[in-house]
Amino acid sequence: MPRSLIVHENFLSRVKARDLPAGAPPTPGLAPHEMVALFRSQCLSRALDRTSRAMQKAGQGFYTIGSSGHEGMAAVAHALRPSDMAFLHYRDAAFQIARAAQLGQSIARDMLLSFASSSEDPISGGRHKVLGSKALAIPPQTSTIASHLPKAVGAAYSLGLARRRPPEHRSLPVDALVMASFGDASANHSTAQGAFNTAGWTAFQSVPLPLLFVCEDNGIGISTKTPRGWIEASFRARPGLRYFRADGLDITETYAVAAEAADYVRSRRKPAFLHLRTVRLYGHAGADLPTTYLSREEVEAEEANDPLLHSVRLMADAGALTPDEALAIYLETQERVDRVAAEAVTRPRLKTAADVMASLIPPPRPCAPTNGPSSGARAAAFGADLKAMAEPQPMSRLINWALTDLMLAHPEIVLMGEDVGRKGGVYGVTQKLQTRFGCDRVIDTLLDEQSILGLGIGMAHNGFLPIPEIQFLAYLHNAEDQIRGEAATLPFFSNGQYTNPMVLRIAGLGYQKGFGGHFHNDNSIAVLRDIPGLILACPSDGAEAAMMLRECVRLAREEQRLVVFLEPIALYPMRDLTEEKDGGWMRTYPDRSRRIPFGEIGCHGEGQDLAIVTFGNGMYLSQQANFTLRENGVAARILDLRWLAPLPLEAMLEATRDCRAVLVVDECRRSAGGPAEALMTALAEAGRTRIARVTAEDSFIATGPAYAATLPSAAGIAEAALALVRT
């Protein structure tokens, strides 16, 4: 017999026999009608679990991870306000149901539509069985363990800043708190540990962070037990994080302790950790049989502690409801859910690729028009730099000025990253910005890339426009799930209702002379190119960088896009093109009104013998190679792709149509997801035959004299170009 049926039969027979589990008397705090309301939420959660399994069996439901045993979360919801943003553990159906009840809504049908993957599912539009609701301030979660915790820290941080500087698209009330729940095994994940540490680190400095962590401790993660006492031992005394503990099987105690914790978090504006004991009924998920790794006695002991049975006892003790009345609610809830489910499975489902992909790209949002800063505000911010604007400058300086103008124009922009503030960045790109805009808007974060990205995502949830920085591309990789798994999927799984627009600046790519080796010269962008919906921009000179950055901010601010702005480190200080002091790679600051539209490529020259298609450092090297080509009578044009994801393939084909040959120059690795692969494919598919490519080797980058040995060179480009035109 399936465990779900055993638990159900147990409930019926034990309630009928008044054989209820022992426990403490009700903790005062909940009125009788509140207890009954919470019990109703618990019953609905339980019924939905059972129905989801039945739906799956009938081929009408597709995902059955359940909440049975965790229904005490209804009492946590009751202790919070429905506007407190909640990033939920996947077992928190009871929380969502109880929150809906706070607003007088029933959410059963919505959730059944989600189980049925119906396109009418209000949260994901049929893309996943997720908890979530825009009206209930519950963003949908991916199933990646703990990955929602860094952004919960970010959202909580945003509350303090929003008090001082409310952004135009603010979504959270001034006195809100943020809640994030997770399992006991998840608490060990490095992502979770990073979030606890960041919360503690922040609170330790008395920076406001109204964040309630809720650990639902059922003692196990799939089949691996959490050592007894581990959660309490590790969280009882963490700096900056107040520990609370409650028995999640008892709704009255859970409510009382959660209310106390919420009050602490809200009034002190400090983070707390609520440790809630729960049980896990039915095993981990649909196909999991707990008896294959736990003894029958262990499984039965958990089942004997069914929280619904505890609620029946507590309500009887409090005189709120008799066991027979409780039983009637349980049965009638199940009947109602079955009835609604029978209708939900008849609703339409997603069918085509276009249906599925409709929410990959978030909808635009209206933004208040801005005329930009007054000349007085600019003069005050730029100071002596204003004069220097008439002179050609290297890229790092022009990016700094573009950031300054953007921050003057858009008060909701906030920068965050390691060393971006006081030091002004490793390469000085963010120099003076903290002096210009204050510590609130240029945040020196702690050293944790997941926390930096989580801060950005969380702040975007509350209407800020984050511009986080990752110090070097190689260090994106230990945090990339925050972009790949979280930021990029949010519009998709919320049917465009939740977004986290941002412009993520990353210093990257190779060619730094005498510095770094691989970890400071990472030339792989494969992990950014394959993320649906993400825009990847890469400028090649300072003026382009300024104009592209403006477009990136517009894309994030107005179109809610997730944008990565990849800054070629080696070109930051570049002044000369071919000879010392020729100043050939410096540019003057383009007027504030000038932007380069998304998808527009750059075209240098009109030669028809050859088109060189490239980007970033490849632009610089190809311009050098062009001198050799001209000497050899080859008329070339050089195309700057600028946008590496999605690649502007149509524009590239159009711009090379009248050229006799096309050479792709790609500083990424030859067979590792660099743009050249897609470009060569597009050219071949378009019937172009005289095509070739120059790429980096499939290698990491060395330090010292061989720093560029594995990368395309100007000489190599010229050689490949001449070979191609002479074929």
Ligand X SMILES: Cc1ncc(C[n+]2csc(CCOP(=O)(O)OP(=O)(O)O)c2C)c(N)n1
Residue 486 found at the interface with Mg ion (CB under 5 A) = no
> By three-state DSSP, how is residue 341 classified?
helix
Site map (CB under 5 A) of Mg ion, residues 199-218, x = contact = -------------------x
Distance from C-alpha of 398 to C-alpha of 594, rounded to nearest angstrom = 13
Distance from C-alpha of 396 to C-alpha of 543, rounded to nearest angstrom = 10
Three-state secondary structure of 48-111:
HHHHHHHHHHCCCCCCCCCCCCCCCHHHHHHHCCCCCCEECCCCCHHHHHHHHHHCCCCCHHHH
Of 78, 128, 310, 520, which residue is the catalytic one?
520
Minimum distance, C-beta of residue 74 to Mg ion, in the bound complex (Å): 18
Q: State CA 220 to chain mean position distance.
A: 27
Q: State CA 517 to chain mean position distance.
A: 29
Residue 222 found at the interface with ligand X (CB under 6 A) = yes
Distance from C-alpha of 124 to C-alpha of 497, rounded to nearest angstrom = 9
Of these, 56, 105, 144, 588, which contacts ligand X (CB under 6 A)? 144
Extended strands (E) in 117-267: 178-183, 211-217, 220-221, 224-225, 242-247
Residue 139 found at the interface with Mg ion (CB under 5 A) = no
Q: Where are the alpha helices (DSSP H) in 432-586?
A: 433-437, 449-461, 481, 490-493, 526-529, 542-559
Site for ligand X in 379-398 (CB under 6 A): none
Token pair listed for 460: 């975007």
Query: Which range in 178-186, 463-471, 645-653, 698-706 contacts ligand X by CB under 6 A?
Result: 178-186
Site for ligand X in 84-123 (CB under 6 A): 91
Query: Which range in 6-14, 143-151, 407-415, 529-537 contacts ligand X by CB under 6 A?
Result: 143-151
User: Cα–Cα distances in Å, from 433 out to 370, 441, 472?
Assistant: 21, 9, 20
Contact between 16 and 239 under an 8 Å Cβ cutoff? The reply is: no
78 as an active site residue: the answer is: no
Residue 145 found at the interface with ligand X (CB under 6 A) = yes
Of these, 73, 85, 172, 185, which contacts ligand X (CB under 6 A)? 185
From the list Mg ion, ligand X, none, pick the one residue 186 interacts with, judged by a Cβ distance below 5 to 8 Å according to partner type: ligand X
Of these, 171, 197, 218, 254, which contacts ligand X (CB under 6 A)? 218
Minimum distance, C-beta of residue 368 to ligand X, in the bound complex (Å): 40
From the list ligand X, Mg ion, none, pick the one residue 518 interacts with, judged by a Cβ distance below 5 to 8 Å according to partner type: none
Indicate the residue among 405 and 486 with the shorter CB distance to ligand X: 486
> By three-state DSSP, how is residue 562 classified?
strand
Minimum distance, C-beta of residue 223 to Mg ion, in the bound complex (Å): 11
Token pair listed for 16: 């009928």
Token pair listed for 99: 């929150």
Minimum distance, C-beta of residue 132 to ligand X, in the bound complex (Å): 17
Indicate the residue among 281 and 407 with the shorter CB distance to ligand X: 281
Q: Where are the alpha helices (DSSP H) in 286-443?
A: 296-304, 307-318, 323-344, 353-357, 375-382, 385-388, 395-409, 433-437
Total binding residues toward ligand X, as defined by CB under 6 A: 16
From the list ligand X, Mg ion, none, pick the one residue 143 interacts with, judged by a Cβ distance below 5 to 8 Å according to partner type: ligand X
Give 3-state DSSP helix, strand, coil % of the chain, rounded to 5: 45, 15, 45
From the list ligand X, Mg ion, none, pick the one residue 449 interacts with, judged by a Cβ distance below 5 to 8 Å according to partner type: none
Site for ligand X in 259-318 (CB under 6 A): 280, 284
Query: Which range in 213-221, 378-386, 668-676, 699-707 contacts ligand X by CB under 6 A?
Result: 213-221
Residue 436 found at the interface with ligand X (CB under 6 A) = no
Locate tokens 């010392």: which residue? Answer: 580
**Residues catalogued as catalytic:** 520
Instruction: Point out which residues bind ligand X (CB under 6 A).
Output: 91, 143-145, 182-186, 216, 218, 220-222, 280, 284
